[in-house]
Amino acid sequence: MEERGLVKLARRGDVGAFTELVERHERPMYATACSLLRSEWDAADAVQEAFTEAFEHLGDLRDPDRFRAWLSRIVINKCYQRYRDSARLYVVEELPDRPAPADPVSAEESFDLIRAVRKLDDDHRTTVALRYFCDLKIDEVADVLGCPVGTVKSRLNRALTKLHMTLGTGSAGSVRADVQEVAR
């Protein structure tokens, strides 16, 4: 079923429809939270809190077609709240248990890439997470961040260039492809 239909059913109280929405968006939201919080535990908690809040406030969503962007904003807000509340940084030496990514990006390269994304400044890291981990379109990223489309494009370009320089691999285009592969 298409997302719009699931959102409409979930708004009417269909828990199964909301569960389907959670299953569709859990991994990209978790990847976003991990890139923002640097702690798999805090990321998992933030995502769980975000889904709970989304369920409770689903009636506030004006446009069912914007569910993914709306949910992304909730996840980001939960991450920032968790970060402010804890006032602590974590360095995760291992990625959480999840299936190894398929080629062409090996598990080791995937780990290096996520580490590199985590080293980006907040604006660039958030923009990369929304664009590639949440798979939002550039205009949706701009809406979520409350900035112009040109700013999003600029941040993505700079972030990919920094990732390319940090990783010392291929081109910025190949880094983009690697980020997209890890996000899947």
CATH 1.10.10.10 fits 99-184, yes or no: yes
Give the model's pLDDT for residue 67. Answer: 94
pLDDT greater than 60 at residue 93: no
Give the model's pLDDT for residue 104. Answer: 38
Give the model's pLDDT for residue 84. Answer: 75
C-alpha atoms less than 13 angstroms from C-alpha of 41 in its C-beta half-sphere: 7
Q: How confident is the model at residue 85 (pLDDT cuts 50, 70, 90)?
A: confident
Its pTM surpasses 0.75 = no
Residues with Cβ within 8 Å of 45's Cβ and at least 6 positions away in sequence, in order, are 82
Q: How confident is the model at residue 25 (pLDDT cuts 50, 70, 90)?
A: very high
pLDDT greater than 80 at residue 54: yes
C-alpha atoms less than 13 angstroms from C-alpha of 115 in its C-beta half-sphere: 13
* 28-55: average pLDDT: 89
pLDDT greater than 70 at residue 51: yes
C-alpha to C-alpha distances, 1 to 5, 12, 39, 70, 173, nearest whole angstrom: 7, 16, 33, 20, 33
Residues 44, 178, 153: CA angle, nearest 5 degrees: 85
pLDDT greater than 80 at residue 41: yes
Task: Report the CATH architecture of 1-92.
Answer: Orthogonal Bundle (1.10)
